[in-house]
Amino acid sequence: MSLQITPLHNVGAEISGFDINEPMTDALKNELKSLWYEHGVLLFRDQDITPEKQIEFSRIFGTLELHPLKAETSEAYPELFVLENGGDKDKFFTARYRGEEIVGRLDWHIDLHYTGRPNHGALLRAVVVPSDDGLTGFGDLAKAYDALDEKTQALLEKIEVAYVFCMQRRHMRYVDLEGYEPGPHSPRKPADMNYPDFPDAVYPAVVRHPVTKRPVLGIVEQFLDRIITPQQAGLSNDEAIELLHRLVEHTRKPEFHYFHQWREGDMILWDNWRLMHCATGTHPGVKRVINRTTIKGDAQLGRVLIKE
Ligand SMILES: [Fe+2]
């Protein structure tokens, strides 16, 4: 196989000339791995994928992980997690955004951020997708870091930020709550969804990517709560809050984003140590099925804050 690489809009690359069902040499596997680190997001189109193939392909990039929170992993394939809109569970994930009911919308986030040990990456494969709904967004936090002025970059070296896991979106300090209303079945506390109560997780404001060593901006709106000891960086509490608002706004700039409109047969792999992602959600009743495999996070990027 000889791969052709076409950059996607702003972030990531589409890889063509690839067939998941063809035998793969070690050289090809290494090429795929370095493309993943180089571009952060890889899109493969028109792939005829069985769950077995998806699992086998994902293993090229690391050890696979079972999602620790989900009871819905496929019984036959425990490495496979099925993301589904348009089924019985919709009511728990339905809320109003500016007057419109949306199912499964997710703010920009990093998977397992709240544990201090995010997954290394994940692979999504479109099984059933609507033609104009349910987009997945990817935001490159390495590019976002590079685009900061030097003064801010230097200041961030002195700062750590805390993330607080919670179920209620309106308790999150830095997400956009304008026009948001939770649905009648929106979970209120972690136990409502059989989630444990996670302690706060703390990250440096600049995370070094464990493999590429590239600096990655450690600011992501979901669960973002505060700067730990802002005084050590010469900031008052008000200045600390202002700085986080400014950084979150920075990560929202479209120049760091790629939004993927799914087609059946699409497969996307991303580096969760470098990119945040989000879901625009679907309109009620719209069917969407995505199969997901997850590459284990074998490095500690943050730490858990133990309360005295
Ligand atoms: Fe996610």
Q: What is the chain's Cα-based Rg?
A: 19
Residue 74 has pLDDT above 90, yes or no: no
Instruction: Indicate whether this model's pTM tops 0.75.
Output: yes
Higher pLDDT, 238 or 69: 238
Q: What is the pLDDT of residues 177-220, one digit of tens each?
A: 999 999 999 988 888 888 888 999 999 999 999 999 999 999 99
Kindly give the distance from the C-alpha atom of residue 259 to the centroid of ligand 1, in angstroms, as a whole number.
14
Top-ranked range on mean pLDDT: pick from 78-92, 191-205, 225-239: 225-239
Residue 294 Cα to ligand 1 midpoint, Å, equals 10
CA nearest neighbour of 279 among 143, 139, 70? 139
Amino acid identity of residue 34, one-letter, is S
Task: Tell me the CA–centroid distance for residue 203 and ligand 1, in Å.
Answer: 18
Q: Is 114 helix (H, G, I), strand (E, B) or coil?
A: helix
* Contact assessment for residue 262 and residue 136, using Cβ atoms and an 8 Å cutoff: yes
pLDDT of residue 36: 98
In degrees to the nearest 10, what's the CA dihedral of 271, 277, 283, 287?
10
Q: What is the pLDDT of residue 194?
A: 83
* Position 180, amino acid: Y
Alpha helices, DSSP H only, in 7-108?
Answer: 26-39, 51-58
Confidence of residue 78 (pLDDT cuts 50, 70, 90): confident
- Give residue 60 CA to ligand 1 midpoint distance, Å: 21
Over range 270-280, report the average pLDDT: 98
For residue 197, report the distance from its CA to the centre of ligand 1, in Å: 19
Are 92 and 104 in contact by the 8 Å Cβ rule? The answer is no
Q: Tokens 């920075």 sit at which residue?
A: 250
Report the chain's mean pLDDT, rounded to a whole number: 94
Helix then strand count (H, E) for the chain reads 5, 21
Mean pLDDT of the region 21-32: 96
Distance CA 41, CA 280 (A): 18
**Strand 64-65 to 257-260 pairing:** unpaired
- The hierarchical CATH code for the domain 4-297 is 3.60.130.10
Q: How far is the CA of 295 from the centre of ligand 1 (A)?
A: 13
| Ligand 1: centre distance to CA 277 (Å) | 6
Contact call for residues 304 and 116 (beta carbons, < 8 A): yes
Neighbours of 205 (CB within 10 A): 23
The CA 281 to ligand 1 mean position distance, Å, reads 12
Mean pLDDT of 9-25: 96
Q: Where in the chain are the domains?
A: 4-297
